[in-house]
Chains A and B, each alone.
Chain A
Amino acid sequence: MRPLQPPLTLLSSFQSYASYFVRCLKASFAYRAATITNLLTAAVSYSITIMIWRQVYSQNPNLLISSDQMYVYLLLAGCVNYAMIMNIEFRISQRIRNGLVATDLLKPVDFQIAQGIQAISDGFFNGSMGIMVFLCGFFVFGTRMLPPDFPCFCLFMISFLLGFTVMYGVCFVFVQGAFYTYSGYGIMASRNALQLTFSGVSAPLAFYPPLLKTIADWLPFKHIIYSPISIYMGWAKNADAYQLILQQACWAVFLFVLGKLIMKHALKQLEVQGG
């Protein structure tokens, strides 16, 4: 008889997650998502938004943000938005509905962390798509696509990574709804709806009417797109930039804890289908 395995130490847990990460990467290579049509859809959405703003600028040439900067902003927003696509949302809600989530729960790893690792591995792929779009934009807009200076870019990278963590946190909290309602469409689409409005992907928050802006400031969504890009474009400098980054970090921690607590409760009332 084999002696019982004692609970894992921090180091050995880390080894588990590292191994899991490698397998996720391999699986991401194999996971054939509908990349072409996704890209085309994003391109179309971007074009529509551009045409609307073009109309606006043709009648009102003197707005707070110049039309040039606007187009660059929208393209960057599109890139970042693409890099932040969380395939895990769909996967987790599907696994809850067909009961496979049971096998996930039987593994000796923390579900939240494991899915986070999966998200990072997906992020590599979605991110490279985003970079390619950025390069295309570079052909069109030239040096206007670049940040004003190098420190700016560094701060942007930090903000981007934190934004990714916030995005994961938001998605994880929303996907808990699937444990209670077994619905797939509703959960993802409602998060998407909120994100469309409050993340600044269709228009910089600076353009928002005061009421909407206030609400957006108090929600985490702006930290997924608007905060990193304001830092990139040099709109938020120094103190402002540091404050944004601090806010992102706070949201990331808060959402992580919130997700954990909700999941604990969700599992208590879980009814796994079948048998």
Chain B
Amino acid sequence: MENALHVENLAKSYKRRVRKPGLAGAFQSMFSAKTEEFHAVKGISFSIKRGEKVGLIGENGAGKSTTLKMLTGIIVPTGGQLEVLGLVPWQKRRQLALNIGVVFGQRPQLLWDIPVRETFKLLKDMYHIPNGVFEITYPEAVKRLDLEPLLSTPVRLLSLGQRMRCDLAASLLHAPAVAFLDEPTIGLDLTVKEQVREYIRDMQNRFGITLLITTHDLKDITEVCDRLLLLDKGKLLFDGSLKAFEKRFANESRIVAELHQPATPASLKKLSAEIKRYGGAITLSEGHRLILEYREAGAAPALTQILLKRQKVVDLTLEKTDIDTIVTRIYRKPAGEKMKP
């Protein structure tokens, strides 16, 4: 089967009750029936092939988790069609469950009161993992994620980071065809994040697992994925490779300078004229702060030289147009502007 996932015009809406402020309003709203519709997902379409590594990003409330829940069959969509591994998730939930692995940020699937090792044993039976597979995935997980000291501890005594590592191992134990990872590195410290990313990459390499990762930490995407989906307020803004993303949304690069004393209007005029030749422009001059923006790649050294010559600079930062900054800037734009090519 070519497609791991196929989604067409997927939509999900909820009914929310209209509420008036104040105590009287609250009391009144209990007996009124006025509802408004809230559209969490507004008709998105995409396909993912077997073995692809896809990142799904968007601000909080953009509809990422809702989409993920529809894909795993927990929520029933209100519109559109979707298929995962040839099955309709909410109809064939149990059958699909055998072939997918899911990590939900802060909600582990581990059994609470008993040692971690017991959960793994149970999962082996529940997913009917063949010995050949289990004998690879289990030791791998234990080794790569440092699970050895945790195996005999009941889950409720583990810290958040420890729980998340166990949860991740549990979700990939059966080397599923598709893995849905919702915020897999949330709350982990930096070294552990690296460990986790490496583990995910290796498992993916070995077993050809199709990955769909939702995250706020963009490094998860740049280090693991090769394709990016950007959701904003329920709509799909972008679907393509990481490089294409950078190309499309990278506008200006910036040089941010901290001056020894606020620049005089005269000196600014002179500076402006000189950097124009290299396609640069002053976009901000407030007190000690000065920001230059430019479009051409490679103009940075020349512009920096001019700046240092013309002004007394105390500190200097070159802002890269990496995914982090791009996404931040996209989030900051008002809704209408975001759709511009």
Contact = CB atoms under 8 A, between A and B. Distances in A.
User: Direct A–B touching in the complex (beta carbon < 8 Å)?
Assistant: yes
Interface of A: 1-2, 4-5, 7-8, 12, 15-16, 18-20, 23, 26-27, 30-31, 98-100, 102-103, 105-110, 267-272, 274-275
Contacts of B208: 1-2
B95 A7 contact: yes
B321 to A, nearest CB: 29
Nearest to B95: A7
B234 interface: no
Interface in B171-216: 174-175, 177, 182, 207-208
B75 A19 contact: no
B274 interface: no
Contacts of B55: none
A61 B164 CA distance: 66
27 contacts: A2-B133, A2-B175, A2-B177, A7-B95, A16-B126, A19-B121, A20-B125, A20-B126, A23-B111, A23-B114, A23-B118, A23-B119, A26-B114, A27-B113, A30-B113, A30-B114, A31-B113, A98-B107, A103-B102, A108-B98, A267-B90, A268-B76, A268-B90, A270-B74, A272-B74, A275-B66, A275-B182
Interface string B102-139: 10110111011110001101100111100001000000
A49 B74 CA distance: 46
A16 B125 contact: yes
B14 interface: yes
A27 B94 CA distance: 24
B98 to A, nearest CB: 4
Nearest to A3: B177
Residue among A8, A12, A109, A110 with most chain B CB within 10 A: A8
Given A12-B128, A23-B121, A27-B114, 10 more contacts: A1-B51, A1-B207, A1-B208, A4-B85, A16-B125, A16-B128, A26-B118, A27-B112, A106-B73, A270-B74
Contacts of B154: 30
A4 B209 CA distance: 11
B222 interface: no
Contacts, number: 109
B223 to A, nearest CB: 22
Interface in B150-173: 154
B20 interface: no
Kindly list the 7 A-B residue pairs having the minimum CB-CB distance in the complex, ordered from nearest. Answer: A275-B65, A19-B125, A1-B208, A30-B113, A103-B109, A108-B97, A5-B98
A103 B108 contact: yes
B290 to A, nearest CB: 40
B72 interface: yes
Contacts of A272: 69, 74-75
A267 B89 CA distance: 13
Interface in B29-88: 50-51, 64-66, 68-69, 72-76, 85
A120 to B, nearest CB: 16
B99 interface: yes
A195 B75 CA distance: 33
Contacts of A15: 125, 128
B19 interface: no
B165 to A, nearest CB: 16
